[in-house]
């Protein structure tokens, strides 16, 4: 998890489901290039919510000076994808709960709530399990290494913020406007751009999203992350 707004909501839903005692580890893939505010938020909430936090790093890639300067795709592959592969092998995870949403990117419109991956993390979107409850686990093939489960797949950005407002959840301060700008999504510091905004509260963020013509955070990035 990134400990952004979506991950925070997912963890909170898990806390509700398990009566405030999540029985599985919460994984943070740490590229070491995140905003310092993310690390502070992660440590504070992990302690407050009594999470079994597993911090994952690709130390070998970092030792070879992998960074965003070598290209965004290369950096993400090494510090996120490869790090997660290492975590799956080390901890023998058979399933991952992720906080992705269909409205974030066009390719995710093909995703299912239960999405199998092979050992190379490849996703065969043309051969996915049915969404029926009795059929969603019929994926035990020789190629399957783990299942990805997406509880927030049908949520929209505004749904996330409305839930945060209703449940009074904490979020990283980067989401709130400072000097006319705020971050609509957060991750690695070098890969995120702030949006022009005066929204310094959750209510104002919701109102802003209701009126924007840029529907997704991914689209906002392509246009310098500006609201219009």
187 has a pLDDT exceeding 80: yes
Question: Is there a single domain that holds both residue 181 and residue 126?
Answer: no
Question: Is there a single domain that holds both residue 61 and residue 115?
Answer: yes
| Residue 163 is assigned to a structural domain of this protein | no
* The predicted structure's pLDDT at residue 128: 62
Range of the domain at 184: 171-222
Q: What are the angstrom distances between the C-alpha of 14 and each of 11, 45, 182, 191, 195?
A: 5, 14, 28, 29, 30
* Distance separating alpha carbons of residues 54 and 30, to the nearest angstrom: 10
64 has a pLDDT exceeding 50: yes
Entry pTM: 0.84
| Residue 228 is assigned to a structural domain of this protein | no
108 has a pLDDT exceeding 90: no
Question: Is there a single domain that holds both residue 115 and residue 175?
Answer: no
Question: Is there a single domain that holds both residue 54 and residue 123?
Answer: yes
Burial of 33 (0-12, 13-18, 19+ CB in 10 A): middle
* The predicted structure's pLDDT at residue 1: 55
Question: Is there a single domain that holds both residue 75 and residue 176?
Answer: no
> Averaged over 114-141, what is the pLDDT?
61
Percent of residues, the chain, with pLDDT higher than 90 = 66
């Amino acid at each position: 998890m990134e400990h952004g707004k979506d991950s925070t909501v997912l963890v909170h839903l898990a806390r509700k489901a398990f009566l405030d005692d999540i029985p599985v580890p919460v994984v943070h893939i740490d590229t070491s290039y995140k905003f310092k505010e993310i690390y502070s938020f992660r440590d504070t909430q992990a302690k407050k919510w009594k999470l079994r936090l597993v911090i994952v790093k690709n130390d070998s890639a970092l030792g070879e000076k992998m960074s965003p300067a070598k290209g965004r795709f290369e950096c993400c592959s090494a510090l996120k994808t490869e790090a997660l592969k290492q975590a799956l092998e080390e901890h023998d995870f058979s399933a991952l709960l992720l906080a992705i949403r269909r409205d974030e990117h066009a390719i995710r419109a093909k995703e299912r709530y239960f999405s199998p991956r092979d050992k190379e993390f490849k996703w065969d979107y043309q051969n996915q399990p049915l969404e029926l409850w009795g059929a969603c686990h019929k994926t035990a093939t020789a190629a399957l290494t783990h299942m990805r489960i997406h509880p927030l797949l049908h949520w929209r950005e505004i749904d996330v913020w409305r839930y945060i407002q209703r449940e009074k959840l904490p979020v990283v301060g980067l989401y709130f406007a400072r000097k006319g700008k705020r971050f609509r999504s957060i991750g690695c510091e070098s890969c995120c751009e702030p949006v022009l905004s005066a929204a310094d509260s959750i209510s104002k963020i919701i109102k802003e999203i209701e009126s924007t013509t840029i529907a997704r955070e991914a689209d906002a990035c392509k246009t310098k992350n500006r609201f219009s």
